[in-house]
């Protein structure tokens, strides 16, 4: 079965960096686009970044553009999210997800476009 396991979250000061990883199994990883989402307390889950099957195309939410970088290593079945210049408002649980279909376009997706989700990893940014 499809499994997505995130790691790398933690507590960091504003301006700091973290690298999140998501290890995937149970499907042909390099067939599918992947995404990162986040959910802050009391707020809805929101899109952060996505990447196509090869890693050649990416798309970011405006709020993280220029600070976060999504990448993938298909040999390791892993997708990454590098978080730089972190702000207190980046505090959230971060989730990786696999897109339902193999198609990819560079636009903000609906949550329903993603069929499988990890358990999440907490990122807390102190001011």
pLDDT at 16 over 90: yes
State yes or no: pLDDT of 107 exceeds 90: no
| Span 12-24, average pLDDT | 98
**pLDDT at position 65, please?**
97
Q: Model confidence at 70, in pLDDT bands (50, 70, 90)? A: very high
Instruction: Name the nearest CA neighbour of 49 among 77, 80, 76.
Output: 80
pLDDT of residue 63: 97
Please state, rounded to an integer, the average pLDDT across all residues of the chain: 96
- Strands (DSSP E) contained in 10-113 are 10-13, 18-25, 34-39, 46-51, 58-60, 68-73, 78-83, 92-99
Residues 6 or more apart whose CB falls under 8 angstroms from that of 41 comprise none
């Amino acid at each position: 079965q499809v499994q997505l396991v995130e790691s790398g979250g933690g507590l960091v000061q504003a301006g700091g960096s973290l690298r999140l990883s998501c290890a995937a199994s149970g499907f042909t990883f390099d067939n599918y686009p992947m995404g990162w989402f986040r959910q802050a307390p009391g707020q809805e889950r929101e899109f952060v970044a996505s990447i196509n099957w090869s890693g050649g195309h990416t798309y970011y939410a405006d709020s993280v553009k220029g600070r976060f970088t999504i990448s993938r290593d298909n040999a390791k079945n892993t997708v990454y999210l590098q978080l730089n210049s972190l702000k207190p408002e980046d505090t959230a649980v971060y989730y990786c997800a696999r897109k339902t279909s193999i198609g990819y376009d560079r636009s903000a997706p609906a949550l329903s476009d993603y069929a499988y989700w990890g358990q999440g990893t907490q990122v807390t940014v102190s001011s």
